[in-house]
Structure 1
Amino acid sequence: MKRLSGLFLVSLMSGAVTLGAYKLFIEGKSGHNSIVTTAPNNYNRAVSFNGEAADFTVAAENAVHTVVHVKNVSVRTVSNPIMEFFYGQRGGQQQEQIGTGSGVIISEDGYIVTNNHVIKDATELEVTLNNNKSYKAKLIGTDSKMDIALLKINADEKLPYSTFADSDQVKVGEWVLAVGNPYNLNSTVTAGIVSAKARNLNTNGLQSFIQTDAAVNPGNSGGALVNTRGELIGINTMISSPTGSYAGYSFAIPSNITRKIIEDIMEFGGVQRGVLGIEGNELNSKASEELGVKDTEGFYISKITKNSGAEKAGLRKGDIIKKIDTQKINSFAELTGYISTKRPNDKVQVTFIRNGETKTVPVTLIKNEVVTTEFKGLELENIDASDKKKYRIDYGVRIKDINNENLAPYADQLKGSIILSVDNVKATDVESISRFLNKKDENQSVNIQMINRIGQIIQIIL
C-alpha cells in the first residue's frame, strides 16, 4: 500500500511539473491574449519508408475535423447595353455569385481562420463542418495584405480545433498534409513534403511562404497545412501551376504569421505591423560583385529610415544583416517573414557585419504607418484607416511632402494626394513601392496614378 501511495505521489508531482512547464514555456511565450492553442516545439513525428508503409492516419484524423467548407455569397450588378439602348433601362441587374473555399477552426467556441480572398466582398458567409452541420458566419476582421481573415460561428457544441505548431521549426523535406475542400469535395487530404521555406513570390503582400508539393487545387484556399501530428503549420493560399489546378507547387502562409495576425485582430481590431526601418537587397554573387562586398549571403542595407529603430540603434548603409534573434537571414523573404511575427515596440537582436567585424545590437521596431520614403522629391507615407474609408480604397501611399523645386508650384495640389500605382504596379504600401522605385533610375520617367484631395483620379508623369 505504501508503495502504491509513493507511486501515486511521484505521478502527481510529475504531472504538476509538466503542467507548470507548459504554462511557463508555452502559454507564457506570448504576452498577448490569444484564442489559439500552441503545440510543444518537439512536435515532429518521423515517418519512415524502411520496409513499412507511411502512415498519416493520425495526422489526417486530427486535422480533418478541424477544417471547414466556407461558402461566400456576393451580389454584383451586371449591365446590359442592348436593354439600356432600346428600353432605357439603367442600373443593370443584380446577380448572386457563390464562391467556395476552406477554413480552419482554431478554438472550440467557433473562431475560424481562412484566406481574405475566400470571403472578399461577401454579403453572406456560411460554414459547413465536417459533420455536415452548417452555420452562418460573422466576419471578425481581415488582413488583405497577408490574405488572412478571421470568422466566428455560434455552434451548439464545442468544436474540434487545430493546434498551432511553430512554423519556424519546420524543416525542408519534412512530411506535411494539405487538408481542404477542393472542387467542393469535402475533407480531402493530400500528402507531400516541404519543398522550401521563406519563398518570395513577388506578391504585393506576404513575401515568406512555405512551399510544398502536396496537391492543392481551387477550393483548398484557407485550408490547413499540417505536420505529421496534425498540428497547423500553415494556411494554404495559392498554387503555382501552368493549368490553374494542381500541376506544380502550393504555398501556405506560415502559422506563426497567421497566429500573430489573429491575435492582433482580436486585441487591437487590426494588424499591428512593426518594421526595422531599413531598405536594401539580399546578396548573391552578382549583387555582391556590384556592391563590392565579399559576402554572398545576408541582407545588404542600402538606406536607413529617418527616426527608425534601425537609425537609433546605429545601423548604417553598407551593413550586412546575417541574423535577427536566432533566425538566420539569407534573403529578403526570411527577413520580412520573421519581422511579420513582431509588433511595434518589440525589440529584436540584429546581428550584422560591418567592415569584416560581426556586431549585434538591439533594435526597437517602429509602427509601419510612420515609415516614409522619398522618390523624385516626393516624400511618401502609408495611408491610414480614415483614408481608406474616405476614398473607398484598401491600398495606396500618401504624398506627405514635396522636396522637388520643379514641383514646388504644384505642392498645394500634390500634398495629401494618394498614389495608387506607379507604372501600373499597385502602391500597396511604402515598403513595397520603395522596393519597386529603388530599381528605377532617378532620371527615368514614371507614370503615376493618384487620387487627389477632392477624390478625382488623375495621372501624372514624373
Structure 2
Amino acid sequence: MSAAAMSRRTLGALVLGLSLAACSSGTPTASAGTAPATFAPLVKKVLPSVVNIAVTEVVSGNDVMADLPPELRGTPFERQFRDRFRDRREQILGAGSGFVIDPSGVIVTNNHVVGHAAKIVVSLSDGTELPATVIGTDSLTDIAVIKVNAGHTLPAVSWGDSRAVEVGDWILAAGNPFGLGGSVTVGIVSARGRDIGAGPFDDFLQLDAPINPGNSGGPTFNLDGQVVGVNTAIVSPTGGSVGIGFAIPSQIVEGIVADLRSKGHIDRGWLGVSVSESDAAGKVSGVTIAGVDRQGPAARAGVRAGDIVTAVNGDHVDTARGLIRAVAATQPGTVVHLSLLRAGRAFDVSVTVGHRPADSAG
C-alpha cells in the first residue's frame, strides 16, 4: 500500500496493513503443535490462491496542500505552494494482498487496501493481471470483497474455524510485502482477543510471523491450509516488521464476506446511545448509558441517560464493547429486551433496533 494510505491507517505505532498468513498440513507428521519438516507442500497448496493487489487512488489538490511542509508555513513560499497545487489531482499507487475464496474469481482483502481505489488490478500467482470490481466493503471490520473475471476457474481456499485456534499454534503468512510479490513467512499465534483500538469490533489474533506493509488483506492459514484470519495490522515503530502483527479471525470475516456478497453492505443494529463502563463503585455490573439520541430507538423506548444496562435479551453484558457488539449484531427492525437499573430499581424495556449510521457509537 502507498505511504499516504499507510499514514491514514496508522494508530500510534500500529500500522494498519499487513500480510497474508498460510500454514499447511503438507507433511503427514505435522500437527497444530508440531512443525513439519518443511512447509513447502503447504505453500504449493495455498499460494496459487493468494493474489497481489495494485490500486490507484486520485488525491485532490486540497489533500496535497494539507501536507504543506512545516518549513514553508508563514513564508512567502507558502502561497506559491498553495497556488501550484490548488487544482491539481495526484494519482497514488498502493499495493496489498488478497485471496480467492470462490473459483469464479471472488477475492477477500482489506477495506483499507481498496476502499478508496479508483482502479484495482489483481495479479494472479501465474503473473496474469486482471481488473477488479468491488462487490462490497465494510470499514468497521476492515473487510472488502472484490471480483475478477479470469475466463476460467481459479484455485480457491476454504475457511477454517478460528475459534479452534490456540495460542502457540503454527501459522504461515504469505502475501505481497513492500510490493515484492508472493512471499511466505511462518510463526505462531501469540495471543487471542487483542483490542488495538482500531474499531468497536476489535478481536484480533496476534501473530509473530513477519508481516509488512503490502501484506494487508492476505490470509492467515492453519496447518490444514484453511484461512483462519485476514492480516490487517502490525506494530511498527519503523514501518517494517518487528514480529507483532494482527489478523481478523475467520469467525468474524466469514459472516461479513457472506453478507457483502449477498447485499454489498452490512446492516447493523443501533440504539442511539453513548455508553461507558458502569461506575457504580463495583456494586453493579453493567454498562452505563452516558447519553441518548433524542431521535434514536432507545429514546423512543424510554431509555434515559444514567440507566445501567445489565443484559440484552437475557444475556448479561458488563462492558461497553460487549453491549455495542450485541446490538450491532442484531438485525435492524428486530425488538430487543434490555434489562436496566434506574436509581436502584430493576426493570425491562423493549426497543426496536434501528439502522446503525456511519461512525455511530451504539
- Alignment TM-score, normalising by the size of structure 2: 0.69
Does the CA-based 8 Å contact 1:256-1:341 persist in structure 2?
Answer: no
* Count of residue pairs brought into register by the alignment: 310
Deviation of residue 342 (structure 1)? 5.7
Contact 1:272 1:367 in 2 (8 A): no
Equivalent residue for 2:211?
216
| 2:232 corresponding residue in structure 1 | 237
Q: Is the 8 A contact 1:105 1:162 kept in 2?
A: yes
Q: Give the Cα–Cα distance (whole angstroms) in 2 for the partners of residues 155 and 252 of structure 1.
A: 28
The alignment partner of 2:190 has SS state of strand
- Distance apart, 1:158 and its partner CA: 0.8
Tell me how far apart the structure 2 counterparts of residues 330 and 249 of structure 1 sit (CA, whole Å).
29
Shift of 1:318: 5.0
Q: CA RMSD in A?
A: 4.3
User: Which residue in 2 is equivalent to 1:195?
Assistant: 190
Distance 1:276 1:198 in 2: 25
Instruction: Give, in whole Å, the separation in 2 of the partners of 1:149 and 1:343.
Output: 21
How far off its partner does 1:236 sit?
A: 0.8
Does 2:188 align with 1:170?
no
Task: Say yes or no: does 1:291 pair with 2:280.
Answer: yes
The aligned residue for residue 62 of structure 1 is: 45
The SS at the match of 1:236 is strand
Q: Structure 2 counterpart of 1:366, which letter?
A: V
The one of the two structures with greater contact order (alpha-carbon pairs below 8 A, sep at least 6) is 2
Instruction: Please give the residue correspondences for 1:53-452 in structure 2 after superposition, counting only pairs within 5 Å.
Output: 55-78=38-61, 92-204=87-199, 206-274=201-269, 291-293=280-282, 300=287, 302=289, 318=308, 320=310, 343-344=331-332, 366-369=353-356, 382=357, 395=358, 428-431=359-362
Aligned pair in 2 of structure 1 residues 89, 323: CA closer, same or farther (>3 Å)?
closer
Q: Is contact 1:207-1:337 (8 Å) kept?
A: no
Question: Cα 1:165–1:364, aligned 2, differ >3 Å: closer, same or farther?
Answer: farther
Three-state SS of the structure 2 residue aligned to 1:65 is helix
In structure 2, relative to structure 1, the CA distance for the partners of 1:243 and 1:118 (3 Å cut) is: same
CA distance in 1, matches of 2:85, 2:239: 36
Superposed CA offset, 1:285-307 (max 9, x none): xx8xx533379xx8645579785
Superimposed CA distance per residue, residues 207-226 of structure 1 (whole angstroms, 9 cap, x where no aligned partner): 22222112110001011112
Q: What's 2:72 paired with?
A: none
Q: Deviations over 1:353-410 (max 9, x none)?
A: 99xxxxxx9x9983443xxxxxxxxxxxx3xxxxxxxxxxxx5xxxxxxxxxxxxxxx
Question: Which AA in structure 1 matches 2:353?
Answer: I
Determine what percentage of the aligned residue pairs are the same residue: 32
Residues 125-157 of structure 1: per-residue CA shift (max 9 Å, x gap): 100011111101111221122222111100122
Query: Structure 1 residues 329, 199: CA separation in 2 closer, same or farther (over 3 Å shift)?
Result: farther
Structure 2 residues without counterparts, runs of 5 or longer: 1-29, 66-75, 342-347
Structure 2 counterpart of 1:61, one-letter code: K
- In structure 1, the gaps of 5 or more residues are 1-44, 355-360, 370-381, 383-394, 396-427, 432-462
Q: TM-score, normalised by structure 1?
A: 0.55
Q: For each residue in 1:214-256, what CA deviation from the matched residue of structure 2 results, as whole angstroms up to 9, or x when unmatched?
A: 2110001011112111111111111112112111411112222
For 1:274 and 1:280, how far apart are their aligned partners in 2? 15
Contact 1:257 1:340 in 2 (8 A): no
Q: Which residue of 1 aligns with 2:344?
A: none
2: CA distance between counterparts of 1:232 and 1:320? 36
Secondary structure of the equivalent of 1:141? Answer: strand
3-state SS of 1:429 partner: coil
Q: Secondary structure at the match of 2:57?
A: strand
Q: Contact between 1:66 and 1:105, CA under 8 Å: does it hold in 2?
A: yes
The more displaced of 61-70 and 126-135 is: 61-70
Q: Quick check: 1:207–1:333 contact (8 Å CA) kept in 2?
A: no
SS at match of 2:45: helix
Letter in 1 for 2:203: S
AA in 2 matched with 1:46: S
Change (3 A) 1:230 1:339: farther
Larger Rg: 1
More displaced stretch, 152-161 vs 207-216:
207-216
For 1:8-19, list aligned pairs within 5 A: none
